[in-house]
Structure 1
Amino acid sequence: MSLELEHYCPDCGEERVFYRAASTTLHLGTKVKWHCPDCDYGFVQVDGVIDTSEADA
């Protein structure tokens, strides 16, 4: 799995490179926390099925 992810940051208002802050395996799949290094915005993805960044859009 990649350590970087190109993603839109709503706090910065543009595409940023997010860094993987943490990951763990759950019964749902692999949970990955992503963090924008330019601000405090972060989101969680679980096996591409759950994505908390979509809730902020």
Structure 2
Amino acid sequence: MSLELDHDCPGCGETKTFYRAASTLMHLGEKVKWHCPDCDYGFVRIDGNVDTGAAVDTSA
């Protein structure tokens, strides 16, 4: 897996290059944490199937 990922950043309001912050192997697959270098936004992907950044509500 790569160390960089282009992804929409709700904190910045545009597509940014996220950096791989950490990863670990778990029973569901590889869990990878991604972080935007320009703001505090981050999300997790597990084996490419579970993505906490897919449906983000920024209205709060």
TM range (shorter): over 0.9
Other-structure match for 2:26: 26
Shift of 1:48: 1.0
Tell me how far apart the structure 1 counterparts of residues 54 and 8 of structure 2 sit (CA, whole Å).
10
> Unmatched 5+ residue regions in structure 2?
none
Other-structure match for 1:15: 15
> Unmatched 5+ residue regions in structure 1?
none
Over alpha carbons, which structure has the higher Rg? 2
TM score, norm. by length of structure 2:
0.91
Shift of 1:20: 0.1
Other-structure match for 1:38: 38
Other-structure match for 2:56: 56
Aligned to 1:54, the other structure's residue is in SS state: coil
Runs ≥4 in structure 1, deviation > 6 angstroms?
A: none
